[in-house]
Structure 1
Amino acid sequence: MNRLIRVIGIVLMVLLAGYQPIRAQQSIRINQGWQFLKQDLGGIWEAVRPGKEGNPESVPLWTKVNLPHCANDKDAVDPDVNYYQGPMWYKTQLDVKNPYEGGRTLLHFEGAGQKTQVYVYTTKVGEHVGGYDEWSVDITEAVALFLKDEKLVREFKGKVPVMVRCDNSRDLEMMPSDLSDFNLYGGLYRYVNLVYQPSLYISSLFATPVVAANSKSATVNVKVHLENPGHLTTAQLSIKLKDPLGREVQKIEKQVQQLNGDINAGDLVVKNPGLWSTGQPVLYTLEATITSGGVTQTTQTRIGFRSFEFVKKGPFLLNGKRLLLRGTHRHEDHAGVAAAMTEDQMREEMIAMKEMGVNFIRLGHYQQSRVILDLCDSLGILVWEEIPWCRGGLGGPVYQEQGKRMLRNMIGQHYNHPSVIIWGLGNENDWPNDFPEFDQQKIRAYMKELHDLSHQLDPSRKTAIRRCDFCKDIVDVYSPSIWAGWYRGVYTEYKEVSKAEFDKVDHFLHVEWGGDSHAGRHSETPDKALQNIKASGTADERAGDASLYGGAARASKDGDWSETYICNLVDWHLKEQETMPWLTGTAQWPFKDFSTPVRPENPVPYMNQKGVVERDLTKKEAYYVFQSYWATRPMVHIYGHSWPVRWGNENEEKMIKVYSNCDEAELFINGQSYGIKKRNSQDFPAAGLRWNLPLKKGSYNVHVMARKGKTVVTDTIRFEYQTEKWAQPAQVSLKKISEENGIVTIEARLYDAKNVQCLDAVNWIRFGLTGDGTLIDNLGTSGGSRLVQLYNGRATIRIQTNGGRSVASAKVDQLPVTFLNL
């Protein structure tokens, strides 16, 4: 039975592309038919009575949108404006048809930023503060009141008008702080559902699985929370547990007279349970049904059986065996949509993480979509999820109660997910703050309140924080600030610094490490800047380290921001982690580049570029370094897929690096073999899969064959080798390099006065366009920003031609502007 269930777990992962999470019955996503206004109104009447469509006197002007939708889909990374923070409105008309006599009609919001008010016609039916937890409003009475007015029913053709006001204005009494290194987005950026419930229904279902020490049996305690607006007096409650094949394992049936609030439904006992793990994420289905007066309501959740332990002064155990947590981070952010990612986009992102070899994720720095947690359950990715107490110090009673409410909601809403092992209580709470007072003792007292509340609500999970040393003794697991080779020191001191921090606490987990890289920028001398950087002995991030000016020498300020350097930094960290038997694990920061208001001068303005993929999920070179250490499927990747021209002297020896998890690899250049190398993870860099070869001016075709057992994988790149030396940039060239489906890609290159390409140029370039076409910009990617730093003396951008004619321009300061007719 155990073996069968493990096989099923693997099958579930393979079929995940078609996976749909279980949802409550009679729940309808209302994605279409919305209108949006990016400003405030004088009152609700302006939303109800905007005037007839097409009337030039009908102001303000609404735009049609689909949900999920973010008000900051483009302006979050617009290089010329601050992102919008203020009120905004959405409106739609719903066809409300509740099938239950005496039932309730709800609007369920999976997340909306950051303060929200909801209206049915002119009646305010609810409001919510907080941009990341789920919440519902009951619109039953307001709908009934509207439908009583026959004139309104005729005017709106039987539809019910619903208006939603969102507001992401700056507010010191709100979590998270506007000092945070991410945007506080506005809008209905997660799904909204129209939910029909009968007059007695289960609003919440809680499952607490406990696995016996020998893993031969498990129990599941089941609690339900009932809502009884119909004031019914008796009901039949049924609880069923089904295995991954849908077969019933255990069942509870009982008569219930207490029909309000929490009910302990009882315990289910399972023999020889299939255990949930990161390699075989076996999921059971728990189904709860309440029946009264012939009306039945059913809700379902998925659960998993597993045990975990952070060994005191030792490693992490999952189901009694050591597991090195190989982690990353996620912000709810994506090119072109900001926070409003669709379920398909989320699935693509999480599968890319799993394929990289990730088995752990810290969700920064707020409760994230239920879709993400469902995917972590199914893919086998352990989770640290946290409330958005991020920077900003400590506010007053309203602020503090909001944090507790967010913690209660996060735990209550994500309690059943087997992937969750840690509830995060805060991030960088030692940061310069929003308030005149910064009292460490008061912060400690509040942290202790959150810690105690978390264990009261959920004794089975751990609490954790990152970077607040004066609170590290309060939480169960602590992560100090260690940025070896980026914000402080050099990456070769990573193990030494980590061990020193490990010794200071009982339970250590290192989250946030890595560094920024400008996609497409590569270097022949990536470690040159390190000559002026001294080992720090601590490698912690300090105030001002993220700045590009002033302070001590550091890679974040003085380095070249090349993918080459970051690959070396990542390579060193990963090879060292294999030699740290006491290590619980780490989480690189972050998986994907994301937008932030506090980094306007980065090579892509307003972007944190520490991701191993770009904001549109385009893989950077570092992605493959992680794969070479973490992935199980055989892979091979030659460094430099986005490096079309290398440079140096004639016959200068250059390194060709190959990243692979295979046992050996053979390199071919222009058809000639240069020998087989054996992989050795401790042979830095590239685990020994590197070839130092003299290069002459010309074209190179580089091919690699890697073997793992009987499996052979290959990769190929092509590049030019330039030996001509360049002087100061003198001219910009602009040409079309491709066109497909009405989208043109143009490339700008920087040359000196003798027409030699300046391959180390990092100048800023601004693209422009006039005519019928449209620049595809404000994406937050190296090829999707109209203002961007060059990468190796070049930059690209795409243009939607719209079937017409346009003139593109490229401007580099101090150089003549260049034009291109399209």
Structure 2
Amino acid sequence: MRNVYKLENDWFFTKEPQDQVPAAPGQNWEAVTLPHCWNRYDGQDGGADFYRGKCWYVKNLKLPVLKPGTRIYAEFLAAASSCEVYVNGQKAATHEGGYSIFRADITSYLKDTDNVLSVMVNNQHQDQIYPQMADFTFYGGLYRGVNLIFVPETHFDLDYHGSQGVTVSSEITGDKQAKLTLHAYVKNAKETDQVLFTIYDQEKNIVGSITRPAAEDTFAEVLLMDLHLWQGVEDPYLYTVEAILSRHNEVLDEMQVRHGFRSFYVDPQKGFYLNGILTPLRGVSRHQDRLDIGYALTYKEHLEDAQLIKELGANTIRLAHYQHSQDFYNICDEMGFILWAEIPFISSMNPLPEAHQNCISQMTELINQNYNHSSICFWGISNEITIGESNPQLVKNLKELNALAHKLDPSRLTTMAQVSNLPMEDEQNQITDVLSYNHYFGWYQGELTDNEKWLDAFHAMHPDRALGISEYGCEGIITYHNDAPKAGDYSEEYQALYHEHMAKIIDERPWLWATHIWNMFDFGCDARDEGGVAGRNNKGLMTLDRKIKKDIFYLYQAYWSKAPVLHICSKRYAKRTQDMISVKVYSNQPEVELYVDGVFVEKKPGSHVFVFENVALKDGFTSITVKAGASSDTACFEKAAEPYAPYVLIEDESNTGVTNWFDNVDMTKAQPMTFNEGYFSIKDQMKVILKNDEASTVLVNAISSLMGMKLKKSMLAIMGSQTLEGLADKMPAKEGMNVDAIMSYINTELQKIAK
């Protein structure tokens, strides 16, 4: 029988370089437990200087007495981002990709006693491993744990891309009727071996079974009737398929797979249908890191995240920008979220053939390892991969990834997240089954109303293409408050206005097949330094530590939750200088009553957002209470003589680029380029240029103008070791400009600045 042992304790860890494979911890090694992430602090504190390098883990293996013929696998649930595994000094496995499961049969490397497992994990930049560049921290470590798996010689396959060795899929063939397709992949099967499949409903009643001769691919089909369908968050009903591998009267191996029977499709004019029911997908994107934990989450943290998203009222999650934990996928199956799962093909394509093979490997692992999760309906092949210019090789690679996803899993749809400035007519918009765009109109660029203008224009241009919004959001830092909020002030009030607008226009466009807020939680990006908060992206509905719900959390609750919602906004804007204030309330109730210091003032009918104007504040403290049905909420405001200075962010505008830097310059002809030593040029790495104030101003203005967005200096730090010369073939060029002219002009300006 299969036995799984978690290797959690008694590990030793070091960042110090090793001349050879360590057989034992050195004097200064740190004792750690798994899961472990070595960037849990420096990956979230800003400075773009989190540790990236080769680190070592060492553990003595104490094996139990095993039945003869037992095979022993080391299972790594994730190792960021490349890994080498040694057993007693011998290399047993290598793996490239920081988010997926991999295993190694280590049986032949083991001795009877005194075994040592040595693991090198490396989160340095490597040209052939994705992600190459992204707006989040590339945490390092054995951050999901390591297991030993003991199986007999004949067992369900553990060697195929980290998959389970058993797959379950179904096709709805009639009213509450489905064909269940089963595969069990058996290693070293003998002629008398059999696989018994048994199907249980959620109440553990047997509803079907079939026995098949064990084979390398043991195949079976079962027609089931009177099924209870998996209806997403409304009714996430799961069956269990048990696969037992037996020889005569002995069980050799056993696996259980939970399965939800469901059908789905997307209508470009109407939206997403689940089991024939129109189900607009409205939800969030999620990064997996936490404050002072990094990536080293346990089941407890994954469950809390899912519970908070459920509390929000969302029915879909985009799991950005990489494969997430099996714990989280399992929880989503149970809670009924519709998932978009994707690989980290993000922001920048490396032209190396080896890099494309890494994409193929990560897509193959993502699909094979998560094939059995009924919550997953969409495979994502890329995110904002055309931050620079599209090119034929990129399009070819995307088409190959799309075809691969369909080959590995014909039952699900493919999608991709496009960067906002990708033209509507670009051929990439015809590659996947459905698509979404990342839009930040009203934050990085343009006006809030540009969102609906763009969406409606695309929908009119491509009425046969299902369109969604894969990212939208703006920064909100709960310290900052403003009576006249505006884009770029980082106030909780502007974040509220932004999302009030977005929630409304999305609600008015049910044909958007899915919308995903960026982001459910603030997350670590060590390169960022915005709003006085270094090392974070602050667009979350909640803080990185999951302790504080921002006002906008309750806005979406008012739109999506069926439970009563009533929330007074701007409670943290507690010190006020005005005699009269506006009180904003989010609620899903038809009317809201306002009380001041216990005295009824006014009742307002409305929908989602209620605003009470000219509410008087007395000297000292004034209590504001709102009621709706059986719900109530209270806030207290203090009348202050002077404005409270910490509410307003004082920021150096010189760190923000302009979008008109190329105006009044002839950008049709390239000038000869010089590269004088001792002066900056397009050959210098971004991180080198950004250390010089004058040179960084050139860089930020140039890229802001090319992107049409007012970018901050800190946002370019994610480009790190990239050079402008290296990015030349990806540079977007506006009409009337060419790339060579752009590069020569930038280079000319940089050559004026001494290092």
Using the size of structure 2 for normalisation, the TM-score is 0.81
Q: Deviations over 1:528-570 (max 9, x none)?
A: xxxxxxxxxxxxxxxxxxxxxxxxxxx3xxx211111111111
Distance in 2 (alpha carbons) for counterparts of 1:270 and 1:80: 59
1:642 aligns with 2:564: no
Residue type matched to 1:503 in 2?
A
Are residues 1:706 and 2:633 paired? no
- In the TM superposition, 1:448-467 aligns within 5 A as 448-467=399-418
User: For 2:369 and 2:612, how far apart are their aligned partners in 1?
Assistant: 49
Task: Note if contact 2:46-2:525 (Cα within 8 Å) is conserved in structure 1.
Answer: no
1:498-647 matches, within 5 Å, as: 498-505=455-462, 506-527=465-486, 555=487, 559-617=488-546, 618-647=548-577
Change in 2 beyond 3 A, CA 1:338/1:265:
same
The correspondence for 2:130, drawn from 175, 191, 203, is: 175
Aligned residue identity for 1:703:
T
Greater displacement, 337-346 / 467-476: 467-476
In 1, Cα distance between equivalents of 2:93 and 2:514? 43
Equivalent AA in structure 2 for residue 700 of structure 1: T
Question: Offset at 1:577?
Answer: 2.2
Partner of 2:172: 211
Which stretch of structure 1 is more off in the superposition, 349-358 or 393-402?
A: 393-402
Q: How far is 1:700 from its partner?
A: 1.3
2:281 pairs, out of 319, 322, 325, with 325
Match of 1:35 among 2, 5, 12: 12
SS at match of 1:239: strand
Change beyond 3 A, Cα 1:249–1:521: same
Show the counterpart of 2:263.
307
In the TM superposition, what is the alpha-carbon distance from 1:268 to its structure 2 partner? Answer: 4.2
Which residue matches 1:773?
none
- Residue correspondence of structure 1 range 737-756 to structure 2 within 5 A: none
Structure 1 position 602, deviation (Å): 4.5
1:480 aligns with 2:434: no
Question: In structure 2, do the counterparts of structure 1 residues 424 and 50 end up closer, same or farther at CA, with 3 Å as the change threshold?
Answer: closer
Q: What's the CA shift string for 1:353-394, capped at 9, x where partnerless?
A: 110011011111111111111111111110111111112224
Aligned pair 1:275/2:230, yes or no? yes
Paired residues for 1:49-64 under 5 Å: 49-50=24-25, 58=27, 61-64=28-31
The AA in structure 2 aligned to 1:451 is N
Residue among 46, 49, 53 paired with 1:86: 53
What pairs with 1:359-438 in structure 2 (closer than 5 Å)? 359-432=315-388
Is contact 2:316–2:339 with CA below 8 Å preserved after alignment? yes
Between 666-675 and 352-361, report the one with greater CA deviation: 666-675
Amino acid at match of 2:400: E
Distance in 1, matches of 2:461 and 2:69, equals 60
Check 1:576–1:312 CA distance in 2 against 1; reply closer, same or farther (3 A cut): closer
For the residues of structure 2 that align with 1:759 and 1:275, how far apart are their CA atoms?
Answer: 49
What does residue 142 of structure 1 align with? Answer: 109
Task: Kindly state the Cα deviation for residue 494 of structure 1 after the two structures are TM-superposed.
Answer: 2.7
Matching residue's letter, 1:611: G
CA contact (8 A) 2:418 2:437 kept: yes
The letter for the 2-side match of 1:198 is P
SS of corresponding position for 2:43: helix
TM-fit CA distance, 1:271: 2.9
Q: Deviations over 1:484-527 (max 9, x none)?
A: 21122222343232111223441111110011111232211114
Q: Which residue of 1 aligns with 2:140?
A: 186
AA aligned to 1:223 is H
Which residue in 1 is equivalent to 2:82?
Answer: 115
3-state SS, counterpart of residue 503 of structure 1: helix
CA contact under 8 A between 2:340 and 2:379: conserved in structure 1?
yes
* Separation (CA, whole Å) in 2 of partners of 1:136 and 1:467: 34
Structure 2 residue runs without a partner (length 5+): 158-164, 653-755
CA gap of 1:135–1:268, structure 2 versus 1, over 3 A, is farther
- In structure 2, C-alpha distance between the alignment counterparts of 1:426 and 1:704, rounded to whole Å: 45
Q: Which secondary structure state, in structure 2, belongs to the residue aligned with residue 606 of structure 1?
A: strand
> Given that residues 33 and 65 in structure 1 are in contact (C-alpha distance below 8 angstroms), is that contact kept between their aligned partners in structure 2?
yes
* 1:213-235 CA-partner distances (Å, limit 9, x unpaired): x433111100111222xx63430
State the 1:74 CA deviation: 0.4
2:480/2:648 contact within 8 Å kept: no
* Partner residue of 2:253 out of 292, 297, 310: 297
| Structure 2 counterpart of 1:251 | 209
- Residues 24-79 of structure 1, C-alpha deviation per residue, up to 9 Å, x if partnerless? 951122222211112331111xx22446xxxxxx3xx1111111111101011234
Cα distance change of structure 1 residues 675 and 175 upon mapping to structure 2, 3 Å threshold: same
Retained in 1: the 8 A contact 2:12–2:29?
A: yes
Q: Is the 8 A contact 2:268 2:513 kept in 1?
A: no
Distance in 1 of aligned mates of 2:48 and 2:100? 29
The separation in 2 between residues aligned to 1:291 and 1:564, in whole angstroms, is 63
- RMSD between aligned residues: 2.0
Deviation by residue 1:395-442 (Cα, 9 ceiling, x = unmatched): 22211111111111111111111111110000111124xxxxx76111
Rounded Cα–Cα distance in structure 2 between residues aligned with 1:764 and 1:41: 44
Query: Helix, strand or coil for the counterpart of 1:345?
Result: helix
1:599 match: secondary structure = strand
Quote the Cα distance in structure 2 between the aligned partners of 1:509 and 1:491.
Answer: 17
* 1:677 corresponds to: 604
Residue 232 in structure 1 maps to residue 190 in structure 2: yes
8 Å contact from structure 2 (residues 13, 25) kept in 1: no
* Structure 1 portions without partners, runs of 5+: 1-23, 52-57, 148-152, 433-437, 528-554, 726-756, 766-822
> Which SS does the other structure have where 1:344 is aligned?
helix
Distance 1:764 1:344, change over 3 A: farther
- The 1-side partners of 2:33 and 2:540 are apart by 28
Residues 406 and 237 of structure 1: is their aligned pair in 2 closer, same or farther, counting only changes over 3 Å? Answer: same
Aligned counterpart, 1:241:
199
Partner-residue secondary structure (3-state), 2:358:
helix
Offset of 1:697 from its aligned partner?
3.5
Query: Relative to 1, partners in 2 of residues 1:312 and 1:270: Cα closer, same or farther, differing over 3 Å?
Result: same
Q: Deviations over 1:291-324 (max 9, x none)?
A: 1263421101111011111113331111111111
Deviates more, 1:274-283 or 1:609-618: 274-283
Would you say the 8 A contact 1:276–1:283 is kept in 2? no
Q: Which amino acid aligns with 1:48?
A: A
Alignment partners' CA distance in 1, 2:651 and 2:2: 54
Provide Cα deviations, 1:755-813, integer angstroms capped at 9, x if missing partner: xx425443589xxxxxxxxxxxxxxxxxxxxxxxxxxxxxxxxxxxxxxxxxxxxxxxx
User: What is the alpha-carbon distance in structure 2 between the residues aligned to residue 761 and residue 252 of structure 1?
Assistant: 68
Contact 1:101 1:199 in 2 (8 A): no
Match of 1:48 in 2: 23
Alpha-carbon distance in 2 for matches of 1:91, 1:690: 62
Q: 1:573 and 1:301 mapped to 2: Cα distance? A: 39
Decide whether the 8 Å contact of 1:100 with 1:199 is kept in 2. no
Deviation per residue, 1:691-724 (Å, 9 max, x gap): 43133442111222221xxxx1122222212233
Asked if 1:693 corresponds to 2:615, the answer is yes
Give the secondary structure class of the aligned counterpart of 2:236. Answer: coil
